[in-house]
Amino acid sequence: MTRLFRGVFIVWVLLRFGLDVLLLDSFNQPGLKWLARRFAWGRNLSAPRGQRIREALESLGPIFIKLGQVLSTRRDLMPLDIADELAKLQDAVPPFDADVAAAAIEKALGRPISAVFTSFEREPVASASVAQVHFAVLVDRDGREREVAVKVLRPNMLAVIDKDLALMRMMAGWLEWLSTDGRRLKPRQVVAEFDKYLHDELDLVREASSATQLRRNMQGLGLVLIPEMLWDYCSTNVLVMERMHGVPISQVERLRSAGVDIPRLARDGVTIFFTQVFRDGFFHADMHPGNIQVSLDPHSFGRYISLDFGIVGSLTEVDKEYLAQNFVAFFRRDYKRVAELHVESGWVPADTRIDELEAAVRAVCEPYFDRPLKEISLGMVLMRLFQTSRRFHVEIQPQLVLLQKTLLNIEGLGRQLDPDLDLWATAKPFLEQWMKDQIGPKRLWNELKAQSPRYAKLLPELPGLLHTYLQRGGRAEPDPQSQQLFHHLLSEQRRTNRLLQALLYMAVGFVIGTLGVAVMVWLRFL
């Protein structure tokens, strides 16, 4: 019944703001345009279409606001007047009452605001779909005054999100039942992934821990600043962090006039994204322009400033390796390898013809190579890839939905900064170096260092267990726990032997190569 009421409310909002009229009017058929004019009778639809769409999404709540945020970055797919209006959803959603925010902060911190902060700005500096931010000043443990940003959740967010998610789950079930592609698209699993990320976003302690992890990961890169979290003042619905000073990345002309190298900024953004995805497997997954600024401070001039870490994505080693191999094969135009990887990963049926899949991928991707970003639409590439995937029964991977969303955000950001950016040429060297690190001596050495504590603990027990196993061999079976440990130790020993053997071969190869070079030099001087 709750889902029914929510569905009725959504329809009512769409009719109230005349989105049905906009839809009918977008078709070229005269009959539909006439019907749109008839439907508009009795409703005040004088406001611009972009404003009506934005206000409708604001009325429908956080999930629809996030949809608008994503669409606002796609100026290649959206009319400019609509994209400009939707951009207001990034950090200009109508705020909730300052007294409610102050009460929530005092309850979370257990003290009056005046006892924690020496100053507190009641007017929020930013307001988004899930929370709003106030600037303040506090005295830290060392007695220093620190400028901070205080983030506080909107009230009753959980109930609103749960209603929309319940409706999405119901619609996903219908899609699986009614559509022949339902199982392949895995809509219920996709909604489950979305559910997890949205509920994670409602826990500000989780957001603070994600920000801390990203700050630690990015420390040596020198391209991005991430605010420090002040853990003494963090709770599930209130977060206090270091205040960052920067210019919103959407203000490109202001950045250019300040002397920021815009093309370099675009290349740095690609580097940051691929570093987070392929090196760390942990990435900022809500990278719309409202969450990104650029520093003009002399000590960090031209660096990115990342904000709002409510949605982060993570990848397993298997996902990272598979994606990296796909990207590298794609950049090398090795479409046969792309097709083989899809079969090896189980994403397509094992009996799929490699040559047919190769030809289909080539037809999608080849037209876009060697073109600047202004002539490419990843949205269109993904759409054509989805059409191809339907033909070859490719299974959708729900764990990669966030990555796809973030990739589209990155493309929209890059298009805004530098339309002449060659996305492929910028990313190719990074991924090739990453692949070398994964299969070369560096990976082998890192693996040995990481596993050495386990070997040090397990190997001394091996002789005793082996002796016990041999003694009992003809008379009784060892107990299951000892047998399991014994086999585990044997597998570890075999693994160690393989690693040591590989190192030995590499050392021998190095020595032989060195001797060969020395002999050639000696013969040259004879």
Q: Name, in order, each residue with C-beta under 8 angstroms of 441's C-beta and a sequence gap of 6 or more.
A: 506
Which among 50, 48, 52 is positioned nearest to 16, based on CA atoms?
52
The answer to whether residue 319 is catalytic is no
* 349 in Cβ contact with 393 (< 8 Å): yes
Measured CA to CA, the distance from residue 238 to residue 108 in angstroms comes to: 7
Q: Determine how many CB atoms are found less than 10 A away from the CB of residue 73.
A: 26
Out of 286, 308, 355, 422, the active site residue is: 286
**C-alpha torsion sign, points 440, 443, 447, 448:** positive
Residue type for 361, please? Answer: V
SS (H, E, C) 268-307: HHHHHHHHHHHHHCEEECCCCHHHEEECCCHHHCCCEEEC
Measured CA to CA, the distance from residue 90 to residue 70 in angstroms comes to: 9
Q: Determine how many CB atoms are found less than 10 A away from the CB of residue 3.
A: 15
Residue type for 230, please? Answer: L
Question: What would the two tokens of residue 125 be?
Answer: 């500096």
**C-alpha torsion sign, points 72, 75, 77, 81:** positive
Instruction: Scan for tokens 């170096």, then name that residue.
Output: 433
* 338 in Cβ contact with 361 (< 8 Å): yes
Measured CA to CA, the distance from residue 190 to residue 188 in angstroms comes to: 5
* 352 in Cβ contact with 330 (< 8 Å): no
Three-state SS for 199?
Answer: helix
Counting other chains too, the contacts that 354-357 makes at CB distance below 8 Å and 24 or more residues apart are 356/392, 357/392
Q: Which residues of 262-298 are buried (b: 16+ CB within 10 A; e: fewer)?
A: beebbbbbbbbbbbbbbebebbbbbbbbbbbbbbbee
Question: What would the two tokens of residue 92 be?
Answer: 């200009």
Angle at 226 between CA 213 and CA 238, to 5 degrees: 80
Measured CA to CA, the distance from residue 303 to residue 269 in angstroms comes to: 10
* 204 in Cβ contact with 234 (< 8 Å): yes
Q: Name, in order, each residue with C-beta under 8 angstroms of 160's C-beta and a sequence gap of 6 or more.
A: 61, 62
Question: What would the two tokens of residue 308 be?
Answer: 């709002």
Question: What would the two tokens of residue 326 be?
Answer: 């796909």
Residues assigned a catalytic role: 286
